[in-house]
Chain A
């Protein structure tokens, strides 16, 4: 069974600092996604990663994928308050998409 583990589950950081969220998964995958969720809202797609070594960046967020290690990272650079949200990774194998537990990020001034 495809299992997805994220850590940390909770992350409190100061504005301007950098940090990384990790996502490990148990079997080979076709796609890896990163989503953002604000309280009471739906899931907003941030990145789709397909191949080993893939790296995508959008603003202060950068996602990477190592399929050999079955690991993806979401790196936050110089955090700002607007990045406060819950971030989920999700792994898709044969169009069966499973989510990690989520990382609740709080960015403090």
Chain B
């Protein structure tokens, strides 16, 4: 069964450092998403991406965040200067983009900022 793959599974970084979270969406999917979930809390939308550009972004997705699809397969989320409050699970999801299809989520990256 096709799946969305995220790496690393766990990343520990010092405050102020840059991190890049990686996702490999399902190959024929067209829409990609990043969400974050602070432990035990709501799943928060960060950004959606289609046709090599940002489709929608939330108020959380400020200038510290960026996304790109550098090579047609990977989909990355970069946080330029991490803060303690960026500690969370980050989930990538992808969807084909047609009706009657489900969104598939990766297993997540647990980011810990110390």
Interface residues of A, Cβ cutoff 8 Å to B: 30-31, 33, 35, 41-45, 48, 50, 88, 90, 92, 94-102
Q: Report 24 cross-chain contacts, Cβ distance below 8 Å, ordered by A residue.
A: A30-B99, A42-B91, A42-B105, A42-B107, A42-B108, A43-B43, A43-B93, A44-B105, A45-B105, A48-B102, A50-B100, A90-B43, A94-B55, A94-B56, A95-B50, A95-B97, A96-B48, A97-B45, A97-B48, A97-B95, A99-B42, A99-B43, A99-B45, A102-B43
Residues of chain B contacted by A101 (CB below 8 angstroms): 42
Assembly CA distance A99 to B103 (angstroms): 13
Assembly CA distance A44 to B1 (angstroms): 14
What are the 3 tightest A-B residue pairs by CB atom distance, in nearest-first order? A99-B43, A96-B56, A43-B105
Assembly CA distance A15 to B101 (angstroms): 32
B43 touches A45 (CB 8 A): no
If over half of A's interface residues share one DSSP class (helix, strand or loop), that class is named, otherwise mixed; here it is strand
**Total residue contacts A-B, CB cutoff 8 A:** 57
> Chain A CB within 10 Å — which of B42, B43, B56, B91 has the most?
B43
Assembly CA distance A95 to B108 (angstroms): 20
| Per-position 1/0 for B38-82, Cβ under 8 A of A | 000011110010100001100000000000000000000000000
Interface residues of B, Cβ cutoff 8 Å to A: 31, 33, 35, 42-45, 48, 50, 55-56, 91, 93, 95, 97, 99-108
Report the minimum CB–CB distance from A74 to chain B (whole Å). Answer: 16
Assembly CA distance A72 to B14 (angstroms): 42
Report the minimum CB–CB distance from A90 to chain B (whole Å). Answer: 8
Report the minimum CB–CB distance from B36 to chain A (whole Å). Answer: 11
Report the minimum CB–CB distance from B32 to chain A (whole Å). Answer: 10
Residues of chain B contacted by A99 (CB below 8 angstroms): 35, 42-45
